[in-house]
């Protein structure tokens, strides 16, 4: 082989359906890498299983052991399924969310949430243009209303406050990432429309966010892109009445949290929505959904969001490490998911069907082997 690259992947199989969708995803990733490798470029993945989550908390008293953070830091990329269990909580009553803590610890400011109608997966919007939905929502992921070092205050029975933090440092990095993404998508045929979603008419923090957006847009200097802003309330409406008109959106953490579930809904359900959380030196790839306790053990978990998150990981590794085989393997997975659903025969439980984990995995695997 001329160019054999091996990437170390830290894997958190988490809790609930996370434990069910992880093994088939790892198998699919290995298969895609094998099929994508040739004499010019070859890729393989070296998986390391790591502990974190509600189960780990019950066993050890820690939800995110330091050893796991260190191993995640040392890896080339992190693949995470889902973590948490509403029945397992910290003494203060809050849920176990090490996946959010990991974003802070690894500085993952850019939450990439692609929203794309998968051929053959029914979408809830009746307008035929809903089949053309293909945009990326970028959620700032380490500050905003989730800023970890700005805990809220509470005077019991009287009042409670939270702080929404926007910093120039993180916003600049975020917008640079967004504009690079938009330019790349534009060169691949997208519209190049970039929308900053805020509430700058009411909050100074959002006025600051928007100012930095336009400053960085100027610096990026790609005339092929169209820069605009929109209020979050208007965007909630546009994501339902004209989502096919958007290309790249960027917003604060809390707004992004809410709008990304809306994005998952318009593409068919949580089981179809992948994501990447990207920083300067690290990245975590995980489905947007949670641990879905209601369907654990029933074989109904839809693994597509996890598969597509794995495909995003290969794409990111391919670009960052200049590995053609990884890029090809990522594309193979996305194409195989599309081909598996295109006939319309697969119907997962979110869509009222009974195509479960095994059936979907078999269909996607069969497609990838045909490529």
**Residues found near ligand ATP in the complex (CB under 6 A):** 17, 84, 270-271, 289-292, 294-295, 300-302, 305, 348-350
Which residue has tokens 């847009």? 217
Query: In the complex with ligand ATP, which residue's Cβ is closer, 35 or 296?
Result: 296
End-to-end CA distance of the chain: 22
**Positions of E strands within 117-251:** 134-140, 153-155, 159-161, 193-198, 226-231, 248-251
Separation CA 304–CA 357 (nearest Å): 9
- Which one, 251 or 286, has the nearer CB to ligand ATP? 286
Q: How far is the CB of 307 from ligand ATP (least distance, A)?
A: 11
Residue number closest to ligand ATP, CB atom: 290
Nearer to ligand ATP, 148 or 204 (CB): 148
DSSP string, 255-317: HHHHHHHHHHHHTT-GGG---EEE-SS-EEE--SS---GGGTTTT----HHHHHHHHHHHHHH
Ramachandran class of 344: left when φ > 0, alpha when ψ lies in -120 to 50, beta otherwise: left
How near is the Cβ of 6 to ligand ATP at its closest, in Å?
A: 29
- Nearest distance from C-beta of residue 128 to ligand ATP, angstroms: 26
User: Which residue, 209 or 272, has its beta carbon nearer to ligand ATP?
Assistant: 272
CB of 347 to ligand ATP, least distance (A): 12
| For ligand ATP, the closer CB: 251 or 309 | 309
The least distance separating ligand ATP from the CB of residue 366, rounded to whole angstroms, comes to 20
> Whole-angstrom Cα distance, residue 32 to residue 44?
9
Task: Evaluate whether 83 touches 54 at the Cβ level (below 8 Å).
Answer: yes
Number of neighbours of residue 265 by Cβ within 10 angstroms? 19
Least Å distance, CB 112 to ligand ATP, is: 17
Q: 15 or 252, CB closer to ligand ATP?
A: 15
Q: Kindly give, in sequence order, each residue whose CB lies less than 8 Å from that of residue 137, ignoring residues fewer than 6 positions away.
A: 113, 114, 115, 249, 250, 251, 256, 259, 260, 263
Of residues 81 and 183, the one with the C-beta less far from ligand ATP:
81
Q: Which residues pair with 78 in a beta bridge?
A: 10, 284
- Three-state DSSP state, 230: strand
CB of 288 vs ligand ATP, minimal distance in Å? 7
**Between 102 and 216, CB nearer to ligand ATP:** 102
Q: What's the closest the beta carbon of residue 264 comes to ligand ATP, in angstroms?
A: 9
By the 8 A CB rule, do 141 and 110 touch?
Answer: yes
């Amino acid at each position: 082989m001329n160019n054999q690259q091996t990437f170390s992947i830290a894997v958190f199989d988490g809790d609930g359906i996370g434990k069910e969708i992880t093994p088939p995803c790892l198998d699919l990733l290995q298969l895609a890498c094998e099929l994508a490798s040739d004499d010019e470029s070859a890729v393989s993945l070296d998986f390391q299983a790591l502990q974190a989550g509600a189960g780990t908390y019950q066993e050890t008293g820690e939800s995110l052991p330091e050893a796991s953070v260190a191993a995640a830091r040392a890896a080339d990329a992190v693949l995470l399924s889902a973590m948490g269990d509403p029945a397992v909580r910290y003494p203060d009553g809050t849920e176990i969310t090490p996946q959010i803590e990991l974003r802070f610890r690894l500085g993952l400011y850019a939450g990439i949430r692609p929203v794309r109608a998968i051929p053959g997966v029914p979408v809830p919007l009746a307008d035929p243009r809903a089949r053309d939905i293909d945009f990326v929502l970028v959620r700032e992921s380490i500050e905003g209303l989730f800023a970890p070092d700005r805990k809220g205050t509470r005077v019991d029975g009287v009042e409670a406050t939270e702080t929404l933090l926007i910093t120039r440092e993180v916003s600049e990095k975020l917008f640079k990432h967004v504009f690079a993404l938009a330019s790349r998508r534009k060169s691949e045929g997208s519209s190049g429309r970039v929308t900053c979603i805020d509430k700058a008419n009411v909050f100074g923090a959002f006025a600051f966010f928007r100012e930095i957006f336009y400053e960085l847009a100027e610096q990026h200097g790609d005339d092929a892109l169209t820069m605009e802003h929109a209020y979050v309330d208007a965007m909630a409406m546009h994501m339902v009445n004209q989502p096919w008109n958007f290309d790249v959106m960027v917003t604060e953490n809390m707004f992004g949290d809410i709008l990304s579930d809306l994005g998952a809904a318009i593409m068919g359900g949580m089981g179809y929505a992948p994501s990447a959380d990207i920083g300067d030196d690290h990245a975590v790839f995980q489905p947007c959904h949670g641990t879905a306790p209601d369907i654990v053990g029933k074989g109904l978990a839809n693994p597509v969001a996890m598969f597509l998150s794995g495909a995003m990981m290969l794409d990111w590794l391919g670009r960052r490490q200049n590995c053609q085989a990884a890029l090809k393997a990522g594309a193979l997975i996305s194409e195989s998911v599309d081909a598996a659903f295109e006939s319309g025969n697969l119907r997962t439980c979110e869509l009222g069907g009974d195509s479960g984990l095994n059936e979907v995995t078999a269909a996607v695997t069969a497609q990838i082997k045909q490529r």
